[in-house]
Each structure stands twice: as structure tokens, then as C-alpha cells.
């Protein structure tokens, strides 16, 4: 992990992808609206430089774009982008981390698994 900060009080669900320079930080100011630490659901994708601060709940299957700042709750299956928190859409997103290791694989439940979905394989091979 490179330059990633996660508060000891934060909770992060399984199969999340967290890129460099991400902060998942507690808000410990006594008079703060969101005093506490973030709770992040499963299968979330947190882009480089994103900041998630205070007692916020991030649902499952959420994608947070690079350099986004999250200070409010985000429902499941949403995309958050750039600057001021802006939820773009509710959509089905595939937040698995794919890698080519002699064949296409993705990381899930603590191990690499082969990609078996033909549509996903076609997309990966064409990129």
C-alpha cells in the first residue's frame, strides 16, 4: 500500500479496491456534524487521491472517482466524482480488480480467481 491512510476506527467491507493517496479518516472534532469514522461497504472502488472523512456510510458496489471528497452518506450502486461530492447515477458497476497473469484473473475473497464470464473476457482482451 502506497500512501494510503485508514483510520483505526474505520470499517471496510470485502473486495474493495483502494488506490494510492486515499484517506479514509475519522472526524474527531467535538462539535462536528459527522463525528466518527467511515463505514465502507463491499466491492467498492476508491480512486487515487479520494478522501472519505467522518462518520459516513458508503453502500455496496460504490465507485468513488479520483480526488473525490466524500463527507455525506452514499447509497449502494452509485458513482461519486470530483471535487464536491456529486452522485452521478445509480448503476450496476463491476468494481473487481482485473489483472493479466498468464490469463485474466480478478481478486476476490483474498485470492486471485480466473475470469470465466465470456463478455468480461472479450472486453478485457479488446482493451
- The domain limits of the chain are 5-90, 96-127
Q: Which DSSP letter does residue 43 get?
A: S
Q: Give the contacts of 112 (CB within 8 A, at least 6 positions apart).
A: 99, 101, 105, 106
pLDDT of residue 126: 77
Q: Which residue has the higher pLDDT, 17 or 85?
A: 17
5-90 CATH fold? UDP N-Acetylglucosamine Acyltransferase; domain 1 (2.160.10)
pLDDT digits (tens, 9 = 90+) for 16-65: 999 999 999 998 766 678 888 999 999 999 999 999 999 999 999 999 99
- Give the pLDDT mean for 103-127: 87
Note the pLDDT of residue 74.
95
In this predicted structure, what is the pLDDT of residue 95? 79
Distance CA 52, CA 19 (A): 13
> Is the model's pTM score more than 0.85?
no
Rg from Cα positions in the chain: 15
* Separation of alpha carbons 110 and 56, rounded Å: 25
Amino acid at each position: 500500500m502506497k500512501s494510503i491512510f485508514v483510520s483505526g476506527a474505520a470499517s471496510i467491507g470485502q473486495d474493495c479496491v483502494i488506490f494510492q493517496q486515499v484517506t479514509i479518516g475519522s472526524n474527531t472534532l467535538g462539535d462536528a456534524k459527522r463525528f466518527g469514522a467511515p463505514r465502507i461497504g463491499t466491492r467498492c472502488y476508491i480512486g487515487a487521491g479520494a478522501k472519505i472523512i467522518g462518520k459516513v456510510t458508503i453502500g455496496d458496489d460504490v465507485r468513488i472517482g479520483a480526488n473525490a471528497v466524500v463527507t455525506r452518506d452514499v447509497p449502494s450502486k452509485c458513482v461519486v466524482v470530483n471535487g464536491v461530492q456529486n452522485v452521478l447515477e445509480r448503476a450496476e458497476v463491476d468494481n473487481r480488480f482485473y489483472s493479466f497473469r498468464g490469463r485474466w484473473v480478478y481478486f476476490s475473497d483474498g485470492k486471485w480467481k480466473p475470469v470465466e464470464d465470456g463478455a468480461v473476457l472479450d472486453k478485457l482482451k479488446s482493451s
